[in-house]
Every structure is written in C-alpha cells, then in structure tokens.
Amino acid sequence: MDSQFATKVTSLYRTYIEVIKPLLAEIEIRYQKFPIPILNEIRAFNDHIARCHREDISSANIDKEIKKAEGHIYRIILDCYKFLNVAFHENLIEKFDKRTRGVDLNAVNNGQFSASYFETRKFIISHLKKAKFLEAMDKDESLKEYEIVYNKFSELETFLSENERHICWAKARYFSNKIIKAIWWLVAIIFGYILSLILPSIPWDRLFSFFK
C-alpha cells in the first residue's frame, strides 16, 4: 500500500469520526434508533476499504474501491442530514402547527415571534428545494444545502424553546377567549329560552289598550 492510499483512507475515516459520528450520536440520542439504510451504507463503506487489503488486488482496483468508499461516505452524511431534517420537521413544525392551531401568534412578543418563525420556515423550504434540485447535478453543493437546513432547524428548535413561555401564554389567551365566547353563547340561549316562556304569558292586548 502506498502513502497516497494511506492518505485517502485516513481522510475518509477522519470524515467518519468528525462529521458522521456526531450526526449518528444525535440520531440515537434523540430518536433511540439507528436507521437501517445508514447502517447498510456504513457496512458497504467498510467493505470497500477491507477489499483494498487483499494481497492480489491491483492499484487500479484499489482506486476503484476507494472511489466507491468515498461514495458511501457521501451517502452516509446525506442520509443522516435527510433523516434529521425529516425528524426535525415532524417534531418542530408539524407538532408546533398542530398545538397552536387557531392561536394568534402575533400576540407573542408583539408580532416579532410570528415574523421570525415564518421567515425561518420559508428559509428552510427554500433551501430544501435547492438541496433536492442539486442532488443530481452537484453532490457537494447539495450536501452543503442539507447541512444549512439542518443548522437552521437547530436554530429553530432553540428559538421555539426560548419563546415557549410566551407561546403558552398565547395559547391560554386563545382558550380563555373560546371559553368566554362559549359562556356568552350559553347565556344567549338561556336568555332566549326564558323569553320564550315569559313572552306568551304577557297580556299584550291590555298593554296595547293602555296606550290607546
């Protein structure tokens, strides 16, 4: 094995340690699972590196195996970002929209929260589209876009956590308004029912004759 081969392998494993392992750790810590497709990619990556150590392998075949290993490293990182971005979307945006349905978000921090939240969502959607579009054209740029989305989701998670108290206040205000409206609706029904009982018993003829 020459020094060039050793350098390439060292670079691949450095990427694995410095980039992939932290992403895998986050997936396992957050979601208590290890996605099978990513596990298969890791196995394939190590398999191609192992093949390079066969005694009868040629330099040309070593280059091919390294190239394939590089492809799997790219795929592992891509799959990690995709998995985390999908999970972030489900656990941040979808759940947030569901629990704040009908709530006036403009009431949070005088409208500043709402503006920042929807601007962040717009940013995420824009860069996700760009990442998907670039996958078949420029893998490196596509990966950068997925990383940008991942970092933005992380910022959004912190942002929502920091504003949780204000969000709960807006929700409480929303539900209290619903309760007040329900009470007034009930009062109107009761008042209407009472009137329906009283009005027929009133001697309208005598009242009208009094004014003649």
pLDDT confidence of 98, banded at 50, 70, 90? confident
Please give the residue range of the domain that contains residue 15.
1-82
Please tell me the distance from the alpha carbon of residue 107 to that of residue 174, in angstroms, as a whole number: 10
Query: What average pLDDT score do residues 78-103 get?
Result: 90
Mean residue pLDDT across the chain: 85
**What amino acid is encoded at 97 in this protein?**
D
Is there a domain that residue 118 lies in?
yes
Shared domain for 67 and 149, answered yes or no, is no
CA angle 189-195-198, nearest 5°?
A: 145
Shared domain for 115 and 69, answered yes or no, is no
CA 171 from chain centre, in angstroms, equals 21
Which residues lie below 8 Å from residue 208, measured CB to CB, with a gap of 6+?
none
Please provide the distance, in angstroms rounded to a whole number, between the alpha carbons at the two ends of the chain.
120
* Predicted local confidence at residue 79, as pLDDT: 95
Shared domain for 117 and 180, answered yes or no, is yes
Does the pLDDT at position 34 exceed 70?
Answer: yes
Shared domain for 55 and 106, answered yes or no, is no
- pTM beyond 0.85: the answer is no
Shared domain for 122 and 26, answered yes or no, is no
* Predicted local confidence at residue 126, as pLDDT: 96
Please tell me the distance from the alpha carbon of residue 37 to that of residue 2, in angstroms, as a whole number: 32
Q: What is the pLDDT of residues 117-174, one digit of tens each?
A: 999 999 999 999 999 999 989 999 999 999 999 999 999 999 999 888 888 766 666 5
pLDDT confidence of 83, banded at 50, 70, 90? very high
Tell me if residue 167 falls in helix, strand or coil: helix
